Chains A and B, each alone.
Chain A
């Protein structure tokens, strides 16, 4: 049972607006986002339901959903929304909030992949594909998953087995530090940390 009350009913909408500039209250539930979404079929909450729940502060359900992690950021929805809402951006924002508030991910393989990806970029300034694949496949306990593909890619020179590094790694560090500022503009997450 979702309790609606004057104090909190707009909280989720307002947070999303503050973080992304997108106003979910513009959504009138036509369902076009869901209709076009390539992964909606596998989502536990459809994109239009995400928008609706965000409108009425059904935040727990949204932030714990697999939907926000399954979203591919393909932006099909954003391109087609008649209310001109950038739904993909809203999804991205919800992912940020979900992480900042420490919601356990219902899709650990996907969130794990994101983390490994970012760790690689932070370390080298660019992606080390080989390292990422090995680490990811070990994490999901399918170490031999991409071996056949890898052979082909190696032989065609598509993957550098030694990876590479950018020169100015200090600037990469700065970018990562900057991204941490998100925590600061998001008071609820700070409050949670304080607790």
Chain B
């Protein structure tokens, strides 16, 4: 077969690569404004209401592995097509460094299964350098993004409460659900040790925001994506409505290899490989928006080499791929004897915690590390799946009163009863913290390797610094204080220095951002403050790549707000004829 590139005949106003948070938002806003859009997605189509794809409300016994995470990384019913590794699409790591990269390839990307924790960055979060001298400030501040956070709140819906905490801005909140039992215990305990807990802020509809989406019916399964659209998935909430305008052509199973440029160095479209027929295609567009997720977009840019852009596209600063950073993460579990022998009731609630702890020590300058973390909690009488009831003998040793004259372990009716008695008495917590972006932490093109589509792959090079390790140590102290405050018993040994205090590998928290950061100075940043490439005026990146620093807040609400802001700006510039 001769090599040939098939050209799609339509010339689009905008070609958007990736349909996750950033791409979905850009598609929705620009389609509403009447632009003709090609939305190009590497994975298959997905709609949580499609019964063939639905996993919501399935029982563990509907899966032959009872929900185990062998095929899908977060369990058999989780709604991510992809994982830490994808067949035929490898990535590599520089020796002595760690990075785990989670990809989900499907319409909606990782927003189909994400945790729905929807936090605004606060005023401090955009200007951390002003306070601790580390990293860089964003070129914009909270007031620039605030109107877009407001719009995102109203369009998508997020529950929460007005708290007036200086760096945790309030928004347009739907009413929160009441806390669960263990959350009430935690609230009571943490208040005794000076750690705050407030209702969580999740993009789940406790009330409706429009007629197309129903309210949450409390099955706790947002990670499976909601078939009545009661939570935010880009697929159901942004991509579907964008397509309904008639202005969007959706290309699925279309793996973009590079951005094409014309003789003036301007973007003129993309090349993609159709995974179904294996052929190469070209889409022409006046504007290209990358939203393939921070590392994928950096990869596309670095692979888009030409005589006018020898380092890759939009990379005259040589910053593409650098300043990669993820949230820090560490966790601890506990067993709470008071929660044994619980009365049964349906405690599913929404698909996430009903309360959380925002960072509470912004004013403390003597911590030995610079940036904060928030704490997420889990527990309750959830649906059993693979792993449930493991190591009952271990719980026996913590609650010997259960055994009477029996010994730990065992079998028979006694064991059955013990499992029943322990149900709902374990809980856990995890810190999610801000790391300091550094140029050395990066992804670059591996000079030795291509994926099965022949596209050069990413090589990661990422190390934590003492800052992050000290922060994890502090998290562990906080966890112990919290566990003690509720009269619970921490499980396992307290992670110490030898394990970096349980600090997870970079990438593990799946908040990777910063690879195409924005800035006022074109020599030290890739994008301007509107997510527009300094070097190429008709090229935008609207995923987490644009972040200068990732606060201790999960990134997606900010990705969404910035993608909307960039889309408004782009539309204005096109109207003015500047693009």
Whether chain B is bound by chain A comes out as no
Interface residues of B (CB under 8 A from A): none
Interface residues of A (CB under 8 A from B): none
